[in-house]
Homo-oligomer: A and B are copies of this chain.
Amino acid sequence: MDLLIVGSIAFDSVETPEGKVDDALGGTAVFSSVAASLFSPVNLVAIVGDDFGKENLEFLEARGIDLEGVEQTRGKTFRWACRYLDDMNRRETISTELNVFADFDPRLPERYRMSDYVLLANIQPSLQLKVLDQIKNPKFIACDTIDLWIETAREELEEVLGRSQLLVINDEEARLLTGETQVPRAARRLLKKHGLEIVVVKRGEHGATLFSHEGIFVAPAYPLEEVIDPTGAGDSFAGAMAGKLAEMRDLSLEAMKRAMVYGVVVSSFTVENFSLNRLRRLSSEEIETRYAQIREMTGF
């Protein structure tokens, strides 16, 4: 029961108060699928240019990520540059070069079309829809998005939401999408309007909140004394959550809660170093230790 993930593969140039990297491996599909691969095999749909080195493909493949759905084409890989300010709760995008991404027309390998679990990581909603159209009978679709698509592609985005069971967004995006100031009310509206089963609101250093028709579940963030680079936190959160659900083969509310805590745990490691550096050497034991610590931290 593999998990299909579609999103971007990028070279990121990131500057934070703790340092900087240039052209480091990144992108929403990469963070999501590497995080998901901690729990489940992944079938990846994305595009790269001819500058995308073999060592990167080998790294992904070695994690159990199937690359038949990754198209390599002439041109440069998608590039993104940003700078984090102050306490890293704010960032400014310096540049976005779509490059090969501009003409991406995702075509799923035949065996990907039977996927039960799908994670539509953040990309243009029209591309998310093109992928969905090729999947025969998915059991569970999770999607992520950002403010850009809420502002510029709302119609397609709403179609994506209408076909998904789980939406993962942050609190600002939930407000923007609904016009509601209070996140609980925004989430309730999203559940109702789009027929979603679950809305998960990512809250950075404050953790995440799961809203369902049956109630609310809150997980704190893992308390970190040092954050090096927040890039990929949200994508690895969604990837780990989707990967854990695929591993458990369980879509009950209790399973969603546990999967969300794994999302919090994995993203807490992501931000401990630049790019994928921390996830590359992350062990199951480290994951389980933090999972248990979060349970311990919330009991009273």
A: residues with CB less than 8 A from B are: 17, 86-88, 175, 181-185, 188, 203, 205-207, 209, 215-220, 223-227, 254, 257-258, 261, 295-300
Contacts and interface: CB of A to CB of B under 8 A. Distances in A.
Contact of A217 (B203, B258, B300): B300
22 contacts: A86-B181, A87-B175, A87-B181, A182-B205, A182-B224, A182-B227, A183-B205, A183-B223, A184-B223, A184-B225, A185-B225, A185-B226, A206-B207, A207-B218, A209-B223, A215-B296, A215-B297, A216-B223, A217-B298, A218-B223, A218-B297, A219-B298
Given A300-B257, A300-B258, A220 B209 contact: yes
A300 B296 contact: no
A184 B221 CA distance: 11
A184 B227 CA distance: 11
A30 to B, nearest CB: 26
A184 B224 contact: yes
A217 B300 CA distance: 8
B218 A220 contact: yes
Contacts of A17: 181
A300 B255 CA distance: 9
Contacts of A217: 297-298, 300
Given A87-B181, A207-B218, 13 more contacts: A87-B175, A181-B227, A182-B224, A185-B225, A188-B225, A209-B220, A217-B300, A219-B298, A220-B220, A258-B300, A261-B300, A295-B300, A298-B298
The complex is assembled from copies of this chain, and their number is 2
A299 B298 CA distance: 8
Interface centre among A182, A185, A257 (most CB of B within 10 A): A182
A226 B182 contact: yes
Contacts of A299: 298
Nearest to A203: B206
Contacts of A87: 175, 181
A269 to B, nearest CB: 15
A299 B215 CA distance: 12
Given A220-B220, A225-B188, A181 B300 contact: no
A56 to B, nearest CB: 31
A297 B175 contact: no
A87 B297 CA distance: 29
Contacts of A223: 183-184, 209, 216, 218
Nearest to A259: B300
B88 A181 contact: yes
Contacts of A216: 223, 297
A259 to B, nearest CB: 10
Nearest to A260: B300
